[in-house]
Chains A and B, each alone.
Chain A
Amino acid sequence: MSTTISMAELLKKALDKASSMGVEVTRQGSLILNEQTAFRLVSKLLEELGVIYLSIKEAVKEYPDLVEKYGLKKVKIDLREVNNGVFIYVPKNTRLIDPVYNCFVLASKGFVQKVYNLVIVDDGSEVVGVTGCLSLVHEAIHSSHEEAYVGEESKYYKIMVHNWLPKVVVSAIKRVTLMSEASYYDYYINSTSLNRMSFITDVFHEGGRSSSRIDQVVIGSEKSKLQYITTTYLSAPGSNTEIISRVLGMGESYVETRSSVVAIKPGVRGHVECRGLLISDKATIAAIPILKSGVSDSTLTHEASIGKIKIDEVEYLMARGFSEDEAVSLIIRGFLETGLDKVPEKMKPVIRATLDKLSGAKM
């Protein structure tokens, strides 16, 4: 038996209450985690449904057993140093059809934000987690760790929208464990420039026939130096993975996508696609697909390419009635549009709007 819970109503209630209490609520209804009041409200409402949604600090106190059982398995950090983060526990056979938002805001200059998120999707459940990270100040450091456990036959959708400012330094680590027949879907988009970013994603396929798909849309602009290191470990038979990255090189940016699939058990499939589109002559893209296998019965494939917009592509669209600028925008928009069909319906408009904005403002 599975329970389907619509969070829309819950969130709406919570947000209405929150704004009547003078709590700042951002446009897409995402919650600013720092605002404890609003966060508590949603958490209370979800709690009635068996879902635990708390700040990590509270979770450590209130649910030490859960934190002990699932937490800090693939991520080693000292919780005492953590100053922010969420804890989400979705009980067995529970489908949350609306996204669970959390939003990290860098609000004070020079602030070092250390985040640890723990997401547990128990067997037979489904959740969409949306993280929007943004900064309101120019100089800050964000360091985040996320650990997710996806139980048997569960689905975890992770949508992440990065929205930083040019001097911000970010280091993020995300580790996901998949049990048998679990699915993990990860959509990432970085839409603004920042100083430096290192983003490590590791997906551990520990259960048989588990699957993962990771789409990364990365915009390198100005002087950003961005590095994405993504690895999926196919440690259980019959599991499969796809890692797809699309990088737009603008300004004087450097973007590296290093995506690896490691086949450990037989009967696994993996595919890596790294593509770059250079808009600026001063930008650099490193598209690095890596396949590792020690088992003969595995199918690993990759594609990689880096190119610039071709004149015949622009001409083709111009002959269909688009101006040169429109044609270039369409080409960029199309290039960046990967994995959108897999994004949960509720999130599509937000992602589309971000993509439209990005492709329109191409320089």
Chain B
Amino acid sequence: MAELLRIEGASVSVDNAAIVRDASLEVGRGEIAVLMGPNGSGKSTLLKAIAGLPEYRVVSGKIIYCGNDITQLEPWNRARMGIALAFQNPPKLYLKVGDLIDRLSKIYGSTDLVNDVVKELGLSQLINRDLYIGFSGGEIKRVELALTILMKPKLALLDEPDSGVDVDSIKRIAMYINRLAEENVGVLIVTHTGYILRYIENLGRGYVMINGRIVYGAPSYEVVKKIMVSGYGEFNKVGGVN
């Protein structure tokens, strides 16, 4: 599998507090990789650092994307190079969903996808609403996925795409994730329940993060099995593979 993203021993600080420590992981083109871990272990922080958000500083280590070191690159440049992050908890904005969709589809040349995405993810009722103001958990996830797809990414970072989503929507979201991988997009799914993974067709590598460290790496199905059997407790004892 051709390499798309490689994180080499990255430590990430927020407000000078070290949150992620010495993390390494890889995602290949067309691979659906999975990052699991309990709440507060640093998964979202790592994704935001990959997206380059200024508050999430990579204080050591490197992020290599498409063979280039992008550790110092501005977030908008990363986005335009194909890195798209679907946020776990996006902010609420006075910005019409439809307006943002228009702007993104123009920037990323995805206007032909809009109708399909809006229809299949059931967004037509949400188009004229302000972004995430008064949205249900499931609505947020569907819009985040839609915006991510319209950015035509090479690397999609999906932060808890299944939390708060009803079963039918999870299937639909999973279908899109499968489709992304078929189109050779690398996907990194963060999930603490692993719920959505049962609908994913070809799982790639799996990682477990505990207390800011990646403590385990194995094929995703093994990781999921281990967690299903004994929860995250086992990994706490391992204490870190890095």
Binding site for B on A (CB under 8 A): 310-313, 315-324, 326, 330-331, 333-335, 337, 341
Contact = CB atoms under 8 A, between A and B. Distances in A.
Contacts of B51: 319
Nearest to B104: A320
Contacts of B80: 321
28 contacts: A311-B55, A312-B55, A312-B91, A313-B91, A315-B53, A315-B75, A316-B90, A318-B79, A319-B51, A319-B52, A319-B53, A319-B75, A319-B78, A319-B79, A319-B84, A320-B100, A320-B104, A321-B76, A321-B108, A322-B76, A323-B74, A323-B76, A330-B103, A331-B94, A334-B93, A334-B94, A334-B130, A337-B96
Contacts of A310: 91
Tell me what chain A mostly uses at the interface: helix, strand, loop, or mixed.
helix
A320 B84 CA distance: 7
A211 to B, nearest CB: 21
| Those 7 A-B pairs whose CB atoms lie nearest each other, nearest first | A321-B79, A334-B95, A334-B94, A318-B75, A315-B53, A313-B91, A319-B51
Contacts of B94: 331, 334-335, 337
Contact of B128 (A323, A331, A341): A341
B53 A318 contact: yes
A344 B53 CA distance: 40
B149 to A, nearest CB: 12
B107 interface: yes
Interface string B126-152: 001010000000000000000100010
Nearest to A326: B76
B186 to A, nearest CB: 17
Given A310-B91, A330-B95, A335-B94, A318 B74 contact: yes
Given A313-B91, A334-B95, A337-B94, A320 B53 contact: no
A338 B104 CA distance: 22
Contacts of B151: 320-321
Given A321-B80, A341-B128, 16 more contacts: A311-B55, A315-B48, A315-B53, A316-B91, A316-B93, A318-B54, A319-B52, A319-B85, A320-B84, A320-B147, A321-B108, A323-B74, A330-B95, A334-B94, A334-B95, A334-B96
B87 interface: yes
Contacts of B76: 318-319, 321-324, 326
B114 to A, nearest CB: 15
A326 B100 CA distance: 12
A321 B104 contact: yes
Interface in B75-127: 75-76, 78-80, 84-85, 87, 90-91, 93-96, 99-100, 103-104, 107-108
Contacts of B128: 341
A317 B108 CA distance: 14
